[in-house]
Structure 1
Amino acid sequence: MFGINDIPKFFLAFFLVLPIISFLHELGHVFFAWLMGGKNIKVTIGSGDRIFRLGMLEVRKYYFWYGLCSFDNLKRNKRFSNILIFLGGVLFNAISTLVVIFLVEEKVLEEGMLTYQFTYFSMYYIFFALLPMPYPDGSYSDGKVILDLIRNKSHLADNIYRVQWDDEKAQWCVFDHDHALVQAFNDEEEALAKAHEVAKSNRPSRLLNSRSGEETEICNYPRVPL
């Protein structure tokens, strides 16, 4: 039964252990994103206003709640690559849990509340990450995305955005994935900036530039895990 003496243990788990587990989870995602050639990798721990940023790590005011990673331009942006990226979080949680259990059994670490909470909440994190379910905000659990990638579901297909010169308009045009005109510009750089903005906000997406009838991929914005 939960008693008064358990309150400090609750705060220890909430403000120390869970943020560490969340960080390891995101680290697993970005490790495989890096392995697949991802660029602009960033890990965000917590929500609210930013407290500080150190390299790819960003810590926010409510550091104990929520975690997120982002990356762009995977060199290997195939189904199997994305499965590994979405699986990376639970793999790192599972490996770190096994390491802690091993160190406790080998008497390197002392068995106590911290090690118990770490292994317990790591398994909790793994279970809910792998549970294939949609979230209220429209995003999906890692397990749901992995399952849909294995099944090759159409909703995970990339949206294709294009920047293309229009001879009739004598302008650079940005087209969306339905080949509808988003906006036209006199300057190519302005068109590219708009295309990046639209593609980035509609992940997963690819941005193509058409020159002399040839299409070249400028960037890709993969779906990012939580």
Structure 2
Amino acid sequence: MFGVNDIPKFFLAFFLVLPVISFIHEAGHVFFAWLMGGRSIKVTVGSGDVLFRAGMLEVRKYYFWYGQCSFDNLKRNHHLANILIFSGGALFNAITTVIVIYLIENQTLDPNMATYQFTYFSLYYMFFALLPMPYPDGSYSDGKIILDLIRNKKQSGEQTYRVQWNEEQKQWCVLNHDGELVQTFEEEEKALAKAHEVAQSNRPSRLVNSKNDKEVEVRNYPRIPL
């Protein structure tokens, strides 16, 4: 039964163990994103205002709640690559849990409340990450993305945005997935900047530059693993 003496244990789990587990989870996503050639990789731990940044790590005010990693321009942006990236978080949680259990069984680590909480909440984190479901904010769990990829679905509604030269009007046009005009520019750089902004805010997406009757992928913006 939960008693007054258990309150410090609760705070230990909530403010120390869970953030560590969250960081390990995001590290798994990051590892495979890096392995697949991802660029601009960033790990966010927590939510709210930014407390500090160190390299690719960003820690926010409520560091004990939520986490995600973001990246773009995967060199290997195929189904298997994305399955590995979205599986990476749960995989790293599973590996670290097995390591902790192994060290306890070999008496290298003493079984205590911290190790118990670590294994318990790691399994909890894995379960809800891999449970294939949509979240209320419209995003998907890692499991839902993985299931869609295994079913060989296109990246869950991936949009393609284009920057295209209009010879008649002598303007650069930014077009959405349906070929509808978003905005026009006289300079290619400004058109690309706008297209990047739109594509990045509508992940998963691709940005293509249509020039000289050829389409060249400029950047791709995969979904953000949680």
TM-score over 0.5 (shorter chain): yes
Shift of 1:120: 0.5
AA aligned opposite 1:201: S
AA aligned opposite 2:43: V
What is the TM-score when the length of structure 1 is the normalising length? 0.98
Whole-angstrom CA distance in 2 between matches of 1:126 and 1:215: 40
Whole-angstrom CA distance in 2 between matches of 1:155 and 1:54: 31
Query: Counterparts of 1:49-68 in structure 2 under 5 Å?
Result: 49-68=49-68
Query: Counterparts of 1:101-112 in structure 2 under 5 Å?
Result: 101-112=101-112
Shift of 1:215: 1.0
Whole-angstrom CA distance in 2 between matches of 1:142 and 1:189: 35
AA aligned opposite 1:191: A
Query: Counterparts of 1:132-211 in structure 2 under 5 Å?
Result: 132-154=132-154, 156-211=156-211
Query: Counterparts of 1:30-109 in structure 2 under 5 Å?
Result: 30-109=30-109
Are the equivalent residues in 1 in contact too, given 2:27–2:89 (CA < 8 A)? yes
Are the equivalent residues in 1 in contact too, given 2:149–2:155 (CA < 8 A)? no
Whole-angstrom CA distance in 2 between matches of 1:159 and 1:125: 30
Extract unaligned runs of 5+ from structure 1: none
AA aligned opposite 1:162: R
The more displaced of 52-61 and 204-213 is: 204-213
Shift of 1:3: 0.5
AA aligned opposite 1:136: P
Shift of 1:224: 1.3
How many residues align? The count is 226
What RMSD, in angstroms, separates the aligned Cα atoms of the two structures? 0.9
Query: What's the CA shift string for 1:39-77, capped at 9, x where partnerless?
Result: 000000001111110000000000000001000000000
Whole-angstrom CA distance in 2 between matches of 1:212 and 1:124: 53
Extract unaligned runs of 5+ from structure 2: none
Shift of 1:6: 0.5
Whole-angstrom CA distance in 1 between matches of 2:65 and 2:78: 31
AA aligned opposite 1:74: L
SS at match of 1:156: coil
The more displaced of 24-33 and 202-211 is: 202-211
Alignment correspondent of 1:23: 23
AA aligned opposite 1:14: F
Whole-angstrom CA distance in 2 between matches of 1:157 and 1:218: 19
Whole-angstrom CA distance in 1 between matches of 2:162 and 2:154: 20
Structure 1 residue 127 and structure 2 residue 130: aligned?
Answer: no
